[in-house]
Amino acid sequence: MAHHLDPERMQRDSAAASQLAAIPTNRVCTMSTSIQESVSLALGSGGARGLAHIGIIECLIDQGYRIASISGASMGSLIGGIYAAGELDAYKRWVCSLGRTDVLRFLDFAFSGDGLLKGDRIMDRLREMVGERQIEDLPVTFTAVATDIERQREVWISEGPLFDAVRASIAVPGIFTPYEYQGMTLVDGGLLNPVPIAPTFRDFTDLTIAVNLNAKTPQSRRTDTLPASKRREPEADQGYQARIRQFLDTIGSNLVGSGDQRFGVFELTTRSFETMQNAIAATKIAAYRPDVIIDVPRDASAAHEFHRARELIELGYALAESAMEPRRAGAALGSCPTHAL
């Protein structure tokens, strides 16, 4: 293509150059703070540790990022879907109000061979809180990841009723009954993709951030990662864990052999599932490298400890701040252009 000289344009460019040269070299530049970077967020699976997603989302918003797209597996789909529907604050207030015994009230037992829990009570409560929503109508692009157990493949749900998609994505094998959806038998998305980065490849955003809830970190003890004021009393917690495991194992006693076995059905199922997720998560992150990874230690909480919502949210916020700090520092250094005379 040929470029022709334009006298009027040359005059405008000359005037602009004169104005640029007049800018003081010691002037503080804040140009970058007025531009919101758009984010694709991949929220991983990990039971109650997924409550850390709330703190991570809050931190990103506080730092000025615009969350344009969310892909979630299991608990990541639940938190991500509720945020996409604009009701994360209401959910946070509710979940932070739950005590240890409150959690038990949402356990609706299936008394069947394909899962201990039906999951209807918790889904009904979420529908009451958020309302019936269609995924395609949400202001934030949302994808719930589930697993087609019969065809042994990953399923991305990005349209249709929000809580049908969430229910399918949270169906931990052996714990929740599978969910029948559009002719498929679906179970937990974390079974094949515990850190669902791949669905974000369809997005046109500035940044991809993945949250891994199954990370192993140098400070792997959960009491080391929390503020001293938030550390719980080990004796009381161990008693609670023992009671809830015993309660669930009693319900599934037909699946348990002799009483001298080391693990009950509930603990063995959750530990086995998390062990598998740990290995798959490392592979997925290596294959689909995001711009930022936020690692939540896998021993930050047990899968069923939803009564610890407040401290897990705070942990998520702190981990997000730490993970995003290098980008903030880099942005501060590169925010002011150099003006050459």
Say if CB 3 and CB 34 are below 8 A apart.
Answer: no
Q: Report CA 157 to chain centroid distance, whole Å.
A: 16
What are all long-range contacts of 255-264, with beta carbons under 8 Å and residues at least 24 apart?
A: none
Phi first, then psi, for residue 312 (nearest 5°) are -70, -35
Cα 74 to Cα 144: distance, rounded to the nearest angstrom: 8
Cα 82 to Cα 76: distance, rounded to the nearest angstrom: 10
- Which among 188, 203, 249, 295 is annotated as catalytic? 188
Is residue 266 helix, strand or coil? helix
Say if CB 53 and CB 76 are below 8 A apart.
Answer: yes
Within 8 A by CB and 6+ apart from 197, the residues are: 42, 71, 208, 210, 284, 285, 288, 290
Whether 206 is a known active-site residue: answer no
Whether 102 is a known active-site residue: answer no
Cα 194 to Cα 127: distance, rounded to the nearest angstrom: 25
Cα 57 to Cα 79: distance, rounded to the nearest angstrom: 10
- Which among 74, 77, 169, 301 is annotated as catalytic? 74
Ramachandran region, residue 183 (left: φ > 0; alpha: ψ -120 to 50; beta: rest): left
Report, as residue numbers or ranges, the catalytic residues: 74, 188
